[in-house]
Amino acid sequence: MGIWLKRLGIAVIVLALLAGLGWWSIGSNWRALLSDPPHDNNVLFWSQNQRDNGFRMLDQVSFMIKSKPIKAGENTLALPNGEPLSLNMDMAAYGEKQRLAGMVIVHKGKVRLEQYGLGFESDERWTSFSVAKSLTSTLVGAAIKDGHINSIEDKVTDYITDLKGSPYDDVTIAQLLTMTSGVAWNEDYSDPQSDVALFNQHTPEGDLPIIVSYMQGLSRAHPPGERWNYSTGETNLIGILVSEAIDKPVSEYLSEKVWEPYGMQQDATWLIGEDGEEISGCCIQATIRDYARFGLFVLDNGVVNGTSILPEGWIETGTQKQAEIGEPGYGYGYQWWTFDDGSFQADGIFGQGIFIDPNRDLVIASNSSWTSALGDKDREHSEREAFYRTVQAAIDAETTP
């Protein structure tokens, strides 16, 4: 993401020169962002104000950050209102502490609670960060169902041949999905020299996609399948793998398989790198209601127009613990974070999430602008998880005699 922000400095100068031609007509979010433009070279190190204003408009600054559309269709899946959910808590205070931009709670297909903050509105888009990982993994299942990928036990290099001779020679698609490849990767969001901070600044060799060129140069830390290590780079590889297999952009495939036929209300976008490839481990821009609709799609086992677009058992298997992450009660599936009670979530830095509980027919979609990438474990992160449990308990209380 560093290259984008280098462009931002130029963009700010250009727009400043245009100020006399209508500075105040460009909208409050633009004005707020450009009055306090980022000075570092990575979105991970933006100020709080820059995040509050930038996360809702990353795909609007097309001269700085390019994106591809994820087209919605003509028919929209209705989200009717249900009985308001009684939570016996101060929701305004919770929203402020979470720095919540938007949240929708859908229970049995009906909206039980909807809340917005930070000046964000229901028809605006907000960036997903790593919530996109769970959408990317879903496209692997779709590609298998469509016959483009034979099996998740296939080698990664069967589809990304440019990785032959690298540490990925003996890595399977399943090991990419579960982040157990054993290839070294540093995901430290506070370290400007970490892999996650540097990979998109990499200059690729020849015509190679940036992420393929970068990942070629990594080393092996453990044998494949032995240990879990969170790696955005590997989700980006999954996107390349799917794109190679289906011979089209993953944004187009997501529109074709999910966004259009399932009934998302608005077009979404997917940010791309300098090479034109979607950054598959990150950065889908969509409305909070459409994130909730994706949660419903998962609850529906990927059924679109009466037929699942996914292999039998894909959702059930992929949303159960496939890898131990070193924390009791938690695990990792096919790019989903899992809980031992059967619930699971898509989770993005700075407080983005889609929490899904099949046992209660429950989806909680939320977007936030936390004070740090992972949130203070004793504050934002733990408070959000406690909120999930509060919602579950409230729903259980409704059905208890």
Q: What is the pLDDT of residue 2?
A: 41
Same fold, 71-131+258-399 and 143-240: no
* Pick from 26-40, 98-112, 192-206, 334-348: least confident: 26-40
- What radius of gyration do the chain's Cα atoms show? 20
CATH topology of domain 143-240: Methane Monooxygenase Hydroxylase; Chain G, domain 1 (1.20.58)
Q: What contacts 83, CB < 8 A, 6 or more positions away?
A: 110, 112
Q: What local confidence, expressed as pLDDT, does residue 389 receive?
A: 97
Would the pLDDT of 6 be above 50? no
384's enclosing H/E stretch is helix 380-399
pLDDT value of residue 26: 44
pLDDT in tens, 36-75: 666 554 677 788 998 998 899 888 864 567 899 999 999 9
Q: Are 281 and 233 in contact (CB under 8 A)?
A: yes
Average pLDDT, the chain: 89
pLDDT of residue 243: 98
Place of tokens 């979530």: 345
Task: Give, as one character, the DSSP assignment of residue 84.
Answer: P
Compute the half-sphere exposure of residue 112: CA atoms within 13 Å on the CB side of its CA. 18
The contacts of residue 153 (CB under 8 Å, 6+ apart) are 172, 173, 174
> What is the pLDDT averaged over residues 133-147?
98
DSSP 85: P
Q: Long-range contact list for 353-357, CB < 8 A, 24+ apart? A: 353/131, 353/384, 354/131, 354/134, 354/291, 354/292, 354/294, 354/295, 355/295, 355/388, 356/295, 356/298, 356/299, 356/319, 357/388, 357/392
pLDDT at 3: 39
The residue among 291, 290, 273 whose CA lies nearest residue 281 is 273
Amino acid sitting at position 305: N
Distance CA 44, CA 372 (A): 8
Q: Are 127 and 269 in contact (CB under 8 A)?
A: no
182-194 average pLDDT score: 92
Nearest residue to 325 via CA among 343, 340, 312: 340
Task: Give 23's contacts (C-beta < 8 A, 6+ positions apart).
Answer: 31
pLDDT of 401 reads: 65
Q: For residue 378, what pLDDT is reported?
A: 65
Q: Give the predicted TM-score (pTM) of the model.
A: 0.91
Q: Where are the domains of the chain?
A: 2-65, 71-131+258-399, 143-240
Residue 31 confidence (pLDDT): 63
Amino acid at 394: A
Nearest to 85 by CA among 381, 362, 383: 362
C-alpha–C-alpha distance, residues 135 and 67, integer Å: 16
pLDDT of 20 over the 80 cut? no
pLDDT at position 166 over 50 = yes
Q: How confident is the model at residue 376 (pLDDT cuts 50, 70, 90)?
A: confident
SS3 155: strand
pLDDT at 333: 98
Contact assessment for residue 205 and residue 213, using Cβ atoms and an 8 Å cutoff? yes
Mean predicted confidence (pLDDT) in 258-272: 97
Q: Please, which pLDDT band fits residue 32 given cuts at 50, 70 and 90?
A: low
Neighbours of 141 (CB within 10 A): 24
Residues pairing with 70 in the sheet: 268
**Does the pLDDT at position 226 exceed 90?**
yes
Cβ(182)–Cβ(225) under 8 Å? yes
The answer to whether residue 85 scores a pLDDT higher than 80 is yes
Phi, psi of 311 (to 5 degrees): -60, 155
Sign of CA dihedral 275, 229, 142, 108: negative
Regarding the domain delimited by 71-131+258-399, which CATH topology (the fold level of the hierarchy) does it fall under? Beta-lactamase (3.40.710)
